Structure 1
Amino acid sequence: MSVFTFPPEDVLRAREKLVLDHFRDEVRQDWDDVLSTFPHPHYELVPSMTVHDGDEAVRRYYHDTRVAFPDQNHEIIAIRHSADAVIVEFWLIGTHLGPLGAIPPTGGRHRTRMTAYFLFDEHENLVAERVYFDQLTIFKQLVGGLDRRRPRDLLKLVRAVLGLLRTAGREPDPRLQPPPGEPLAERPR
Structure 2
Amino acid sequence: MAVSESSKGRPRVLIVLAVVAFASIAIDQITKLLVVQNLELGEVVPVVGDLIQFRFVKNSGAAFSIGNAYTWIFSILAAAVTVFIIWFARRIRSFAWAWVFGLLLGGTIGNLIDRLFKEPGFGVGHVVDFITIPLLPAIFNLADVSITAAMVLFLILTIRGIGLDGTRHVAAPKDADGETGSTTADEREQV
The question of a shared fold, defined as TM-score above 0.5 by the shorter chain, is answered with no
Q: Max radius of gyration: which structure?
A: 2
Higher relative contact order (CA 8 A, sep 6+): 2
